[in-house]
Chains A and B, each alone.
Chain A
Amino acid sequence: MLTNIRLLTLAIAALYLMPAMAHDSHVHKAPWQACEQKQKSQQCSYHNGAGDLFKGTCQLFSKVLMCARNQPIIYADKLAKQAKQKIIDKASHKSSN
């Protein structure tokens, strides 16, 4: 009985929480967020939904700072390879010492 009440309470709480969580969510605005605390021409970077890395400088577009990429995109698979290589390098460095 107690378990059933707990389950019911959880279900009601979930019903109330779900819409609230959904409406607290973001719209995707990483290029703008990357420059929120920065000045024009400062370096910035952001990841897209696929995990690719965009690096550039903050530039004004219609008076709003946005990260304008000026370096080649570093794709997620390359980032993963770099991270893996780092771990291998670290491990081989450790074993050689």
Chain B
Amino acid sequence: MKKIITFGVPLLSLFLLSACGSDDADDDSVIEDSSSIAVDITKFSSSTVVEEVSCTLSNGESSTCYEITINGFPSDRDELGPFCPPSTSTEAADAGKWFDDGVLYDLTGEFITNLDTFYGDNFWELYDENGNVKITDTQESCEAAARPDVDEAYYNYCVECDISYYEEETGGGVSSIYTIPATPVARSNTSSVDGSVGIAFNGVTLDAAAPAADILRAYTIAAFDDCVGHVNPFAGYHYHGANHGEGTCPGVEYEEDGHAGAFGYALDGYAIYSMLDESGEEETDLDECRGHTDETRGYHYHSAGAGENMFIGCFAGETAE
């Protein structure tokens, strides 16, 4: 996998270290049924640039891939957020989200007020005596609070970074380049997620699990918007969960047969569909990567719930080197 962003060498190194795609060495599970359907590049938004290239897959074989350049700003929205609630009286409509143990919560002022009870620790206090929530509202503060070793000055802050600090053009995002197989190739053994998971059709990265324990250890909340996305200095705007059709987050249309709708491709080229079908039911035969096969769609994944801090469990297909 190739991924490029332009933030200077230290940040780039950090990001590349965390975006290695997959780890082949330690996986021993076998996914049996992986009928493969070619990637449909027309699904991507017009702001996404797709180029056909020669590539080498993780099994060492030569193949054809798509080099996909996304601009990092969701093509189906005009603005990001809201993220942190400005005050302890802010209602859900004006606030973002936070997740914990599989549940996606409205990050309301009330939720912020009750963090000490929620986490059973009375050190939590993200607001001042006037009921204003302490928010990282400058680039300096967001970068001090968004790094793994959070600056202690920003303990008890709701962390949000404005995309304008990092956008490459006004109203844009942070561009990234991904290479995915043009037609997925099933692996004999699954491969672990170790960095980005895939690309949404709207031009945003589907990222690996957010380091929730590190975030909470510093008494910070790295607020998401309704789409379970947020901005960090390393990756720009990116998703940590799939939540469509709620609040400011556009929905994903169901397929004609009532099957969940697709919203992106994993880095192995298999499509990722929403969790639930039109009847609100979840598939019951998902393998450990959260994939299964049907006659219409071949092998494909279903995303986990919006609050589960993940999309898929592993890669069932080869990724590009």
Report whether chain A binds chain B. Answer: yes
Give A61 to B281 CA distance when docked, in angstroms.
26
Chain B nearest CB from A62 CB (Å) reads 5
Give A49 to B281 CA distance when docked, in angstroms.
22
Task: Tell me, yes or no, whether A27 is within 8 Å of chain B by CB.
Answer: yes
Q: Which residue of B lies closest to A63 (CB)?
A: B194
Task: Tell me, yes or no, whether B101 is within 8 Å of chain A by CB.
Answer: yes
Q: Which residue of A lies closest to B193 (CB)?
A: A61
Which residues in window 59-75 of A have CB below 8 A to B?
A: 59-63, 66, 68-73
**A27 contacts B217, CB within 8 Å?**
yes
Give A56 to B282 CA distance when docked, in angstroms.
14
Q: Contacts A57-B313, A60-B23, A71-B286 hold; do A29 and B213 have CB atoms under 8 A apart? A: yes
Task: Name the contact of B284 in the complex, choosing from A18, A25, A27, A71 (C-beta under 8 A).
Answer: A71
B281 cross-chain contacts in A, Cβ below 8 A: 72
Give A4 to B131 CA distance when docked, in angstroms.
38
Task: Name the contact of B208 in the complex, choosing from A54, A56, A62 (C-beta under 8 A).
Answer: A62
The number of residue pairs between A and B whose CB atoms lie closer than 8 Å in the complex comes to 120
**B194 contacts A28, CB within 8 Å?**
no
Q: Contacts A41-B28, A59-B314, A62-B194 hold; do A72 and B103 have CB atoms under 8 A apart? A: no
A36 cross-chain contacts in B, Cβ below 8 A: none
A73 cross-chain contacts in B, Cβ below 8 A: 102, 282, 305
Which residues in window 15-53 of A have CB below 8 A to B?
A: 18-19, 22-23, 25-32, 40-41, 46-50, 52
**B282 contacts A72, CB within 8 Å?**
yes
Give A29 to B211 CA distance when docked, in angstroms.
10
Give A18 to B165 CA distance when docked, in angstroms.
42
Residue picked from B208, B283, B290, B312, most chain A C-beta under 10 Å: B290
Give A18 to B121 CA distance when docked, in angstroms.
10
**A28 contacts B310, CB within 8 Å?**
no
A59 cross-chain contacts in B, Cβ below 8 A: 192-193, 288-289, 313-314
B7 cross-chain contacts in A, Cβ below 8 A: none
Categorize the interface residue count of chain A. 35 or more
**B120 contacts A70, CB within 8 Å?**
no
Contact with A along B200-214 (1 / 0, CB 8 A): 000000001100110
Task: Name the contact of B192 in the complex, choosing from A22, A52, A60 (C-beta under 8 A).
Answer: A60
Contact with A along B95-126 (1 / 0, CB 8 A): 00000111100000000000010011111000
**A68 contacts B314, CB within 8 Å?**
yes
**A40 contacts B26, CB within 8 Å?**
yes
Chain A nearest CB from B49 CB (Å) reads 28
Task: Tell me, yes or no, whether B90 is within 8 Å of chain A by CB.
Answer: no
Task: Name the contact of A61 in the complex, choosing from B102, B209, B307 (C-beta under 8 A).
Answer: B209
B119 cross-chain contacts in A, Cβ below 8 A: 25-28
B18 cross-chain contacts in A, Cβ below 8 A: 62
Task: Name 10 A/B residue pairs within 8 A (Cβ), A-sorted.
Answer: A26-B120, A27-B212, A29-B212, A31-B101, A57-B29, A61-B208, A62-B18, A69-B308, A70-B289, A73-B305
4 more A-B contacts (CB under 8 A) besides A60-B194, A70-B313, A72-B284?
Answer: A27-B217, A28-B101, A48-B101, A70-B287
Could you tell me which B residues sit within 8 Å of A by CB distance?
A: 18, 23, 26-29, 100-103, 116, 119-123, 192-195, 208-209, 212-213, 216-217, 281-284, 286-290, 304-305, 307-310, 312-314
